[in-house]
Amino acid sequence: MKDWYKQAEAAINYLTESEEEYARYRGLMKSISAREKICLARLMIESPEKTAAGKKMWAEAHEGYEKVVDESQEIQTECDLITAKRDRAYQVIEIYRSVNSSLKRGNIA
């Protein structure tokens, strides 16, 4: 039988240690759309094109905008990864709670 107590303790420690990083990535996730819009607007202003559609196309093709989009994808990937790890830690804690409850009731020997 697995040692659920040690696994639950490790899960709690992980949640505690990762909360600052998790909060930072969640904050970055909330600002992704605004960062992309700001970058696009600045590049559209700098564009040598005459029409609005031309300015937008030029800005979207600019390497500065590509860089912001790539950074956004990295942020999203890291946020998804840490969220999955934290969800797994919560699941380990729930399993521990269930096993511990069953042990107290005598349902598990």
| pLDDT tens profile 16-26 | 999 999 999 99
pLDDT of the residue at 72: 96
pLDDT of the residue at 57: 96
The predicted model scores a pTM of: 0.77
Reference 21, options 88, 67, 86, 69; nearest CA is 86
Q: Which amino acid is at 49?
A: E
Per-residue pLDDT for 92 more than 90?
Answer: yes
Strands (DSSP E) contained in the chain are: none
**What is the total count of domains within the chain?**
1
The per-residue pLDDT of the chain, averaged, comes to: 92
| pLDDT tens profile 64-85 | 999 999 999 999 999 999 999 9
What range defines the domain where residue 97 resides?
4-105
